[in-house]
Amino acid sequence: MEFKIKTGALATHKTPCLVLGIFEKRKLSGPAERIDEASDGHLSRLLKKGDIEGEAGQTLMLYDLPGVTAERVLLIGLGKKKEFTRANYRKALAAATTLLQQSGAGEATLALPETLPNTLDLYTSVRDAVVTVEDKVYRYSHTRDDKRAPKTPLKRLNLWIGKKSETAQAERAARHGQAMAEGIRLARELGNLPGNVCTPSYLAEQARALGNQYPRLEVEVLEEDQMAELGMGALLSVSRGSRQPAKLIVMHYRGAPKETKPLVLVGKGLTFDAGGISLKPAAEMDEMKYDMAGGAAVIGALRAACELELPIHLIGVVPASENLPDGAANKPGDIVTSLSGQTIEILNTDAEGRLILCDALTYCERFDPEIVVDLATLTGACVVALGKHPAGLFTTDDRLAAELLAAGEAAGDRAWRMPLWEEYQSQLDSNFADMANVGGRDGGAITAACFLSRFTKKYRWAHLDIAGITWLTGKEKGGTGRPVALLTHWLLERAGQG
């Protein structure tokens, strides 16, 4: 989509559709008041008929409003004015986009309300508008005939602001929002693809395609023989049960001088997880195609960084594999040797994500990184603990935790810090190896993070458990692209552009 910032007289602005906000009890937003004045009170008289009250997400399309050049005027409910929240703002934007997709307008102008929620400024409101609208116009069609696709989809949205002096700030926000949205869209698309299409090799191809698109991005893909030579016994033990070869995808974005220590994002790329010999239940197993959402988010965040040409040194690492039952697959009780030299007793083959991640995290030592952040759909225990709203954040680095939590709040893509205390480490004790790959039912998300922490001693590190946030179920089943927004905002802050 194309986004443009507009200023000037709303009443004479030519557009197929002008979108205005209405608060509860039919109270007009600032831009709506301007249109009401231009129409000689016609808008107020229409509202008195009671077709819209202004509740968050309500919509009403009007035609041929006197004194107004716009072909259509779409009213969207913003909720109570005194309780105008970011959530209601996004809900209104989503509802408006859905109706615009159906209207056949193809283009519209959104007059941003001048009264914004306490948590929003102009920059954030514009960026939220871009990201929310892009989210709603996304449609999956890679493996189906999308018969319900709009005949005239929304292709351009103008964002009207009241002060011309704020144009540069709004344009910056729109540019950041578009890059963020493109990264989210890529992550969603990769996640939505079926496991027989989005294999480890396919993920590697998509990373290489990005490398061909952006000159600052170099992509290297390690094959199984290279990983074996390095000693990645944990990662390769997972892929043994699959006919699809594992890949270690390494993406180098160089936007800063070579001597700059890199930020490293590591994403779990399990393109399908049946659980291995510890087979998962059949119900909803199809959703295990989303077990590569961490890897998809890393690729999406790298794309956003490339689009923005951020002045940072950034590396993305995606260990990619499948986890299937086979005669060569891991068995409960097997012991493998990781790249770090530490041995691991595999008590549950369905705790495989940490096995591919631990070798990837050890591999990151060669980059002498400033910070490493890994993200993975790692545990159902995190979903039980936090539900499907925030990611679980684990780190002993208070400063890094504060950065990531703040980035999540700013991006509307929140995380919640969980404990990573030494007391949990003993749950991973094994009589036969340096550690077990699971620590029992108690605190499962925490012991999973404790396991990863044993491979991150040489750099600053944080872990995001994203099992609850990366896809929706039921009628709305599909990938969300989270936490690309959080990561992109964090990278913007690190680049001094947040």
Per-residue pLDDT averaged across 109-128, rounded? 88
Determine how many CB atoms are found less than 10 A away from the CB of residue 397.
14
pLDDT reading at 120 higher than 90: no
What pLDDT score was predicted for residue 146? 86
Binding residues for Mn(2+): 268, 273, 291, 350, 352
pLDDT in tens, 262-311: 999 999 999 999 999 999 999 999 999 999 999 999 999 999 999 999 99
Per-residue pLDDT band at 205 (split at 50, 70, 90): very high
What pLDDT score was predicted for residue 498? 78
What pLDDT score was predicted for residue 484? 98
pLDDT in tens, 435-458: 999 999 999 999 999 999 999 999
What pLDDT score was predicted for residue 114? 78
| CB half-sphere exposure, 151, CA atoms < 13 A | 3
Binding residues: 268, 273, 291, 350, 352
Per-residue pLDDT averaged across 6-19, rounded? 96
In this structure, are residues 58 and 20 in contact, taking their beta carbons and an 8 Å threshold?
Answer: no
147 is catalytic: no
Tokens of 456: 């991150």
CA–centroid distance for 365 within its chain: 26
Domains of the chain: 2-160 (3.40.220.10), 180-495 (3.40.630.10)
460 is catalytic: no
pLDDT reading at 113 higher than 90: no
pLDDT in tens, 418-434: 999 999 999 999 999 99
Residue whose token pair is 């458990």: 465
Determine how many CB atoms are found less than 10 A away from the CB of residue 228.
13
Per-residue pLDDT averaged across 348-361, rounded? 97
Per-residue pLDDT band at 83 (split at 50, 70, 90): confident
pLDDT reading at 261 higher than 80: yes
From 354, 414, 454, 482, the catalytic residue: 354
- What are the two backbone dihedrals, phi and then psi, of residue 184, each rounded to the nearest 5 degrees? -65, -45
| Cα–Cα distance measured from residue 433 to residue 345, given in angstroms and rounded to the nearest whole number | 6
Q: Is 314 helix (H, G, I), strand (E, B) or coil?
A: strand
Mean of the per-residue pLDDT values of the chain: 96
pLDDT in tens, 25-77: 999 999 999 999 999 999 999 999 989 999 999 999 999 999 999 999 999 99
Amino acid, single-letter form, for residue 67: G
Integer CA distances (angstroms), 440 to 57, 180, 398, 448, in order: 44, 38, 27, 10
Residue 270: in which H helix or E strand, if any? strand 269-273
From 81, 175, 280, 458, the catalytic residue: 280
pLDDT in tens, 130-186: 999 999 999 999 999 888 888 899 999 999 999 999 999 999 999 999 999 999 999
Q: Output the pTM of the full model.
A: 0.96
Report strand pairing: 247-254 vs 217-222.
antiparallel
| CB half-sphere exposure, 139, CA atoms < 13 A | 15
Task: Report the percent of the chain where pLDDT is more than 90.
Answer: 94
Task: Report the percent of the chain where pLDDT is more than 70.
Answer: 100
Per-residue pLDDT averaged across 308-321, rounded? 98
pLDDT reading at 115 higher than 90: no
Tokens of 483: 């936490």
pLDDT reading at 315 higher than 80: yes
Per-residue pLDDT band at 187 (split at 50, 70, 90): very high
What pLDDT score was predicted for residue 154? 95
Integer CA distances (angstroms), 165 to 53, 122, 127, 432, in order: 33, 12, 18, 68
Beta bridge partners of 291: none
Number of residues that this document lists for the chain: 498
